[in-house]
Amino acid sequence: MSHAKAIGLIINPMAGRDIRRLVAHASLQSQAEKALIAHRIVAGIAAVPGVRVLVPEDRSGFFSWLSTELPPEVPVELVSRPAAVEDSTMLWVSMLEAAGARALIVVGGDGTQRNVAQAHPKIPVLPVAGGTNNVACYLGDQTAGGYAVAYFVKEGGAYHHWAVQSKLLHVELPGGVEEMALIDVALTRQNFTGAMAVWDPSDVQALVLSRADALRPGLSNVGAFVSPVGADDDFGLYLSLGDRGRACPAVMAPGLMATFHVEQERYLGFGDTVELHPQDAGGSLAFDGERTVVLSRGQSARITLRRDGPWVLDPARILTVSKRSVPS
């Protein structure tokens, strides 16, 4: 069976369910809501004949259930997972790419999209907002997004005309370990990961941002009140935070405001590096809003900004072209 015109669809079952939604005025996203998102995306794909949808098999059975819930107008195939491997977004990306997907639609927040970047996909992605923080994500109509990706797959061509390459924050850790983030790296004062999500301003010592968006919640929002940084801008932002300095209000999650104090700020160009040092008691690093790595006293991390992440499809650009030529 040919997958020459196939789209891989990933919906993170756990996205939009972290502790930030409990401490803020936000509801948890149910599996039923995620199925509705998939319906809206697939309705757009159905408008382009000859395009298939691939979904990855998972241990929980979420995608098996989802594949039976989607409308029959679009052929949906469940891609078998390897045995004895733990489920992850990275695994699902590689499964769908190997199965012949020409593009990916991934529903989740910044953490999910970071996992996509860690998989180093060779095909372009439409990251659809479905988490708590969605700076890296498309916020437009989901049906239009599905139609745009289907049109791109149907027409083919060089995807750099339809997409923008993401910026990445590359992180060098002690012992030669490497990590990455799409939007933000935060140095926090807690020397444990705990509930992982970061929302308390007193906990954050420094921020390194590839993007700073005033209209979307999360740590990126802090930087936007200093200097907005967009996806197309060839620079990032470093902020040193403390008890004094410039007061910057920020939206940390839906319904949750906080005030940070910026003591120092500077722009970062591609290839520029920032070294982060925790306080004497140690600290932890959060990648795209989630504490992941603990740093002991005397350890540090080096952060470098580059534009070498996934190619992100631009539905507005695609649909402007599609209006001149309706697929047959």
Instruction: Give residue 252's pLDDT.
Output: 87
Rounded to the nearest 5 degrees, what angle is found at the Cα of 184, between the Cα atoms of 183 and 186?
170
Check if the beta carbon of residue 288 is closer than 8 Å to that of residue 55.
no
Token readout for 52 is 């298939």
User: How does pLDDT run across 182-222, given as a tens digit for each residue?
Assistant: 999 999 998 877 667 787 888 999 999 999 999 999 999 99
What backbone phi and psi angles, to 5 degrees, belong to 89?
A: -60, -40
Q: Which domains does the chain have, with CATH numbers?
A: 6-166+309-322 (3.40.50), 168-306 (2.60.200.30)
- Dig out the tokens for 155 from the structure: 């027409």
Q: How far is CA 24 from CA 27, 37, 114, 217, in A?
A: 9, 23, 23, 11
Structure tokens belonging to residue 128: 């659809």
Contact 182, 113 (CB under 8 A): yes
Decide: pTM greater than 0.85.
yes
Residues of the chain with confidence (pLDDT) below 70: 1-4, 15-29, 194-195, 323-328
What single letter denotes the amino acid at residue 200?
D
Q: Give me the pLDDT at residue 2, please.
A: 45
- The number of beta carbons lying within 10 Å of the beta carbon of residue 82 is 9
Nearest 5°: phi and psi at 115?
Answer: -65, -35
Amino acid (1-letter code) at residue 220? S
Nearest to 71 by CA among 107, 103, 44: 44
The whole-number pLDDT of residue 258 equals 92
pLDDT of residue 154: 93
How far, in Å, are 23, 95, 157, 188, 221 from residue 199 at the CA level?
9, 34, 42, 11, 12
Taking Cα atoms as reference points, which of 22, 39, 192 lies closest to residue 107? 39
Q: Which amino acid is at 180?
A: M
Q: What was the pLDDT predicted at 29?
A: 67
Please, what sign has the CA dihedral across residues 261, 265, 268, 272?
Answer: negative
What are the Cα distances from residue 23, in Å, to 111, 113, 216?
Answer: 18, 23, 17
Task: Note the pLDDT of residue 131.
Answer: 81
Could you give the angle at the alpha carbon of 21 between the alpha carbons of 18 and 24, nearest 5°? 145
- Which run of H or of E encompasses 233? none
Q: Residue 212: which residues within 8 A CB-CB, separation 6 or more?
A: 220, 221, 222, 223, 224, 226, 227, 228, 229, 237
CA distance 205 to 107: 30
How many other CB atoms are there within 10 angstroms of residue 270's CB atom?
13
